[in-house]
Every structure is written in structure tokens, then in C-alpha cells.
Amino acid sequence: MTKKGRMALAGYLFLLPNLLGFLVFTSLPVLASLALSFFDWDLFTPPRFVGLHNYAKLMSDHAFWYYAFNTVFLMLAIPVNMMGALFLAVVMNRKLRGIVVFRTIYFVPTIVTGVGTYLLWRWIFNPDYGLINTMLHAVGIEGPKWLQSIAWAKPALMLMGFWTAVGGNNMILYLAALQGVSPELYEAADIDGANKWQKFWRITWPMVSPTTFFILTMSLIGGFQGGFEQAMVMTGGGPAGATTTISYYIYNHAFLWNHMGYASAIAWVLFAVVLETTLLNWRFGGRVVHY
Amino acid sequence: MRKAATYLVLSVVGLGMLFPLLWQLSTSLKPAADVFAGVDDPVKALVPHEARPENYARVYRATRSMGGGFARWYFNSIVVAVVVTLGQVTTSACAAYAFARLRFPGRDKLFLSYLGTMMIPGAVTMIPNFILMRKIPEWLATVAPGVDWLQLREVILLGHLFDAGRLLGLDSYFVLIVPVMFSAYGTFMLRQFFMSIPRDLEEAATIDGCGLLQIFTKIILPLSKPGLATLAVFTFMGNWQSFYWPLIMLSEDSMKTLPLGLLTFMGLHSTQWELLMAGSLMMILPLIIVFVLGQKWFISGIQLGALKG
């Protein structure tokens, strides 16, 4: 065998285990789910081809639109979380003793987020015995019913999300971006007599804009797909569907009600939204981001 | 003065971050009556008047009848997270080496398709994978009708008969491990890492008569320890918290991992908050340990991930 042939063979062999897994658990399932979205199937009776019916049904499915609204509503927290992360990064971007300790502490909520902390926050939001209402009561305020209230359930989840995310990955990314800004820019601004705000808006903000753009894109992509795990543990999607997101709706159709075809159709609509977000961000980002 | 103000802000924020977790610790140590001290007694609500560390042992006892309970869930979580981490790092490293260093037809197209799938929402592939795992035992039964695939479940471990769940399909270790052992993200990350290693060493090794496998194990892997460690830390932590996939794959209590076990526990003991908090604290403890030990790699991994954007 030639040297080239041997190398090609070695390449395929090295790739083989991963490629097999990739084909069986990713590539084929993607095609299968697209195909499924044109069928009606409950896993027990033979699948029935229904063409575009699942997609048409989705357009007039009021529940779907309400859950889409919930998903977008929860995403309103994204800019707030990002501002918090940038603020923390600016405060931390100084050569101070013990800064690493703070960074570690701020990161802990991100690390531990999962079923364990969802249980914790369910307890924190308990209207009668929870941490928040106990503290509000101590200063004379009767707190709302939080997770049990249609109006307050979403803000409660957003509050938890802020705690989870503010000191995590985004702060680290902002911190790295701030450390890349040349100190000479600030020195020049000092000479020109610029104040703190001017320095922030004229130097810091434009210089970190690629990071802002990256975080925003990733948060939007995550946001459209998010909301299942926390709602599953904390609210069961309620009250009255107030915390059900698109991903939760897919779960219900697929794994509670055995609507494999309809669930696949929703998943593909979600995929299209995510893809479109990525493309839009790409095109739009080129114009507003200062590199 | 400015320094003091900065420390003040940092400390207040830090307290805010830790406060919920401290309250979790406080609740986990309370006598049952103090848990519901409630709004009228804020002091007792924050700090237990006496500590009950035995709550942690009670979690174990209260769940033991649930297929082995907390101890078994812990065992399952460790086995699954460790094997998945080893598997993902191994398969990703091999594939990354092929993509980074070896030349073969179709390489770049394949790599692009790996990248492309990283954008696909999990919900898209979840449904066919669920169906596949559900149907595997049925399909095998038609191929090998003599074997009852759903009943092959006991193994001998350290001299004891151990219920290891089903061999395949739902409620098996197989389903918790194999489908999540392959990662396009891990392959991508390690490929980027391998690309940054200078080629001179490999050329020298080739002249000395080293084969590709030796170059991989003797040069590439040792030089990539930080990259491998980063992927390992990420994978372990992600898998430890994994919830959706086990949720749809498991129904037997004895096969559950910690997140699912806790959820089941909550369903049965929804008012025993001291036990729930103790259980969830025990669950997140390994994460904090791994993070503190592997922080360096974790932070660099986040920054590495951002470079692809």
C-alpha cells in the first residue's frame, strides 16, 4: 500500500468510533425526525403519512403560540443578565488581592445549576415559609405567591436565572475582553478630560462589542430552546401553562402523549428559528460590532 | 478609598451569590418543626436553633426502599459520569487527531458536517433516539428469538448478585452511556487544540521511525493534557447534571441517576424540605469539588469555546 493510502486508512480508523456514534445518534436521527414530522405516529399503531398537516396544525394551535410567548418573555431576562455580567466584570477588572476568590464564588451558582438548585429555589419561592417572603415579611411586605401565581411565576424563574447566570460564563468572557483593551486608550481619554461614563460608552462598550454580540447570539439560541428542566422541577409548566416553554411543549407531545410526528414538527420549527437567529445575527452583527 | 468601595461591592455580590446556598445548608440541618418556622419567626427561619446532621443519614434511609435509593443513585451517577467522560474524551481525541493531522478523502466535508450539527437543538434528535432505544430489544428479539433481552439483567459484582438493569434499551446503563459518548463539540475543541501543536516534533518522530499511533500516544496526547482536562471537566459536570435524557429513558427507581432520584424523592416527600435540601446538597458537592480543583481548565475552556464564534 502506498504511504498516502496507509494514511487515509489510519484516518478512517481513528475517526471510526466517533463517526459511528455521530451517524447513529445524530445524523440519522436528524433525517428521521424530519421524516417523522410528516407522519402521525403514536408508537403503537402503524405511522400514517399526513403531509404538511402537522405544520398547518401548529399554526392554528393556540397553546403553541402561548408557549412561544412564554419562551420569548423569559428571554427578556437576557439583556439584564448581560448588563449584570458586564458590570461585575468591570468591577473585577482591577488588580486587587483575592480577586480570584470572588471569581470562584461568583461562578458557584453556574456550576451547581440543575435539579438540585431548582429544588432549592422552589423552596426559596415557597410563599409561606420560603426565604424571600420571610425576608419581605420582616420588612412589612406581603410577598406574592411566586411560582403558584400566573403573574409572578415567570419573573420568579427569571430572578433565579439571574442568580444562575450573572457571575458565570458571560462574566468570564467580558473579563477576558476587558483585559484585552489597551490601557493607552483610557490614558488618552484621561488627558482629554473624559469622565467615567464617557470612558465607558466611548471606549469600553465599543471595545467589548464583539463579546456582547457573541454572548447575545448564544443566549438567544439557548433561550429559544430553554426552560424545560427548571419548569419540570419547579412548576410542572404551570400554573395554567404560565411557565411552559416550547421545549416543554415538545416534551409533552413526544413523551407524555406519544405524538411523535407533531412533536417532531415543533422541534423542526424550533430548529428553523434557531438557524434564522444565527444567520440574522451574523448579518446584523457585522454592521453594529466594532472590531 | 476606591479600593475599599470595590471590595464592598464585591463582598455584597458574593454574599448574594452564596446566600441561597447557605440557606440550603441551614434548612438541611433543621429539625422538622423549624423548617416551617415561617414568616413570623424570621430568625428561626434563617438559622436552626439546633443542628440535626442526622438529616443527611435520613435521606439515605427514607429512600432505601426505592430500588436502593440515594446510595444507588449516587453509584449510578458516578458510574455513568465517569464512563461517559472517559468515552467522550477517548472518541473525541481519536477523531480530532484524524481531523487535525491525517489526510483522507472527504475529511473537510465531514468536519463541516460535524460543525453544522452543533447548531441542531437537542429536541430534534431526542425523539428518534428515544424511539430507537425503545425498539432495540424488540428488534433484537426478532433477530435472536431465543434470548429474552428484557430479562438479562443480573451480574455478579464482588461476589454479590447485582441488578444491573436491562442490558439494552430503556432502563439500562447502556442507554445512559452509549448514546451520549460521542461529542461533536469535544471533537471540535480538541481538533483546535491539536492544530496549535507545532509539527516539528512529529516530523522528527517520523524520521526516527515512529508510526501514527505512536505519534498520537507519545506526542499529541501528552502535549494536549490541558485540552483533554478541559473537555473532561466539562463533560463530567454536564453529565452529572444530565436530566432530560435520563428522564425519558428511565422508569425503574434502581436505575435512576441523582437528578431523577431527587425528583422522584420530591414527588413522595414534597414537604420534607430538610431532607430535600440535604439530598440536593450532597448531589452538588462533587460539582463544587471538581470545579475548585479544575477551575483553571474550566475557565480556559469557556474562553476556548468563545473563539469559535
Give me the pLDDT at residue A288, please. Answer: 57
Q: What is the pLDDT of residues B21-73, one digit of tens each?
A: 999 998 999 888 888 876 677 777 778 778 888 889 998 988 888 888 899 99
Chain A residues with CB-CB distance to B119 below 8 A: 221, 274-275, 278
Residue A109 maps to which CATH number? 1.10.3720.10
Chain A residues with CB-CB distance to B263 below 8 A: 115, 232-233
In a domain, B202, yes or no: yes
Look at chain A and count its residues: 291
Give me the pLDDT at residue B305, please. Answer: 63
Least confident of B72-81, B158-167, B187-196: B158-167
Give me the pLDDT at residue A103, please. Answer: 87
Chain B residues with CB-CB distance to A19 below 8 A: 95, 110
Does residue B237 contact residue B290 with C-beta atoms inside 8 Å?
yes
Give me the pLDDT at residue B39, please. Answer: 65
Cell numbers 416534551: residue: A251
In a domain, A125, yes or no: yes
From the list A61, A178, A160, the residue with the least C-alpha distance to A117 is: A160
Q: Could you tell me the pLDDT band of residue A214, with boundaries at 50, 70 and 90?
A: confident
Q: Tell me how close the Cα of A8 comes to any Cα of chain B, in angstroms.
A: 4
DSSP A41: -
Please tell me the distance from the alpha carbon of residue A7 to that of residue A12, in angstroms, as a whole number.
Answer: 9
A284, pLDDT greater than 80:
no
Give CA separation, B158 vs A140, B12, B164, B255, B274, in Å. 60, 51, 13, 19, 35
Chain B residues with CB-CB distance to A218 below 8 A: 309
Share of chain A above pLDDT 70, in %: 97
A290, pLDDT greater than 60:
no
Q: Is the dihedral of CA A88, A94, A97, A101 positive or negative?
A: positive
In a domain, B234, yes or no: yes
In a domain, B17, yes or no: no
Mutation target vs B (from A113, A115, A214; most B CBs, 10 A cutoff):
A115
In a domain, A217, yes or no: yes
- Number of folded domains that form chain A: 1
Give CA separation, A260 vs A57, A142, A224, A263, in Å. 14, 45, 21, 5
Q: Tell me how close the Cα of B147 comes to any Cα of chain A, in angstroms.
A: 23
Q: Could you tell me the pLDDT band of residue B149, with boundaries at 50, 70 and 90?
A: low
In a domain, B190, yes or no: yes
Q: Tell me how close the Cα of A152 comes to any Cα of chain B, in angstroms.
A: 19
Please tell me the distance from the alpha carbon of residue A253 to that of residue A127, in angstroms, as a whole number.
Answer: 31
Amino acid identity at A123? W
Look up the domain containing B207 and give its range: 32-43+72-307
Residue B193 maps to which CATH number? 1.10.3720.10
A56 touches chain B (CB under 8 A): no
Mutation target vs B (from A12, A26, A92; most B CBs, 10 A cutoff):
A26
In a domain, B118, yes or no: yes
Torsion of CA B33, B37, B43, B49, to 10 degrees: -10
Q: What phi, psi does B50 have (nearest 5°)?
A: -145, 145
| Beta-carbon separation of B17 and A263 below 8 A | no
| Beta-carbon separation of B37 and A232 below 8 A | no
Chain A residues with CB-CB distance to B295 below 8 A: 104, 107
Q: What is the mean pLDDT of chain B?
A: 87
In a domain, B199, yes or no: yes
Is the pTM above the cut of 0.80?
yes
In a domain, A130, yes or no: yes
| Beta-carbon separation of A214 and B21 below 8 A | no
B171, pLDDT greater than 60:
yes
Give me the pLDDT at residue B308, please. Answer: 45
Give me the pLDDT at residue B135, please. Answer: 86
Look up the domain containing A87 and give its range: 59-288
Q: Tell me how close the Cα of A78 comes to any Cα of chain B, in angstroms.
A: 18
Give CA separation, B172 vs A17, B36, B101, B143, B199, in Å. 21, 39, 37, 20, 44
Q: Could you tell me the pLDDT band of residue A1, with boundaries at 50, 70 and 90?
A: low
Q: What is the pLDDT of residues A53-92, one digit of tens each?
A: 999 999 999 999 999 999 999 999 999 999 999 999 998 8
In a domain, B22, yes or no: no
Q: What is the pLDDT of residues A215-243, one digit of tens each?
A: 998 899 999 999 999 999 999 998 999 99
Mutation target vs A (from B13, B25, B27, B111; most A CBs, 10 A cutoff):
B13
Cell numbers 431526542: residue: B126
Q: What is the mean pLDDT of chain A?
A: 90
CB-nearest to A260 from B131, B187, B244 is: B131
Chain A residues with CB-CB distance to B42 below 8 A: 134-135, 137-138
In a domain, B19, yes or no: no
DSSP A223: H
CA A190 to chain centre: 38
Here the ipTM equals 0.89
In a domain, A257, yes or no: yes
Please tell me the distance from the alpha carbon of residue A196 to that of residue B130, in angstroms, as a whole number.
Answer: 55
| Beta-carbon separation of A131 and B181 below 8 A | no
Closest Cα in chain B to A225 = B121
| Beta-carbon separation of A4 and B103 below 8 A | yes
| Structure-model confidence comparison of residues B135 and A121, the more confident one | A121
Helix (H) or strand (E) holding A90: helix A77-92
The half-sphere exposure of A182 on its side-chain side, counting CA atoms within 13 A, is 4
Closest Cα in chain B to A282 = B309
- Number of folded domains that form chain B: 1
Mutation target vs A (from B12, B17, B139; most A CBs, 10 A cutoff):
B17
Amino acid identity at A237? G
Please tell me the distance from the alpha carbon of residue A121 to that of residue A242, in angstroms, as a whole number.
Answer: 17
| Beta-carbon separation of B13 and A229 below 8 A | no
Share of chain A above pLDDT 90, in %: 62
| Beta-carbon separation of A129 and B36 below 8 A | yes
Q: Could you tell me the pLDDT band of residue B142, with boundaries at 50, 70 and 90?
A: confident
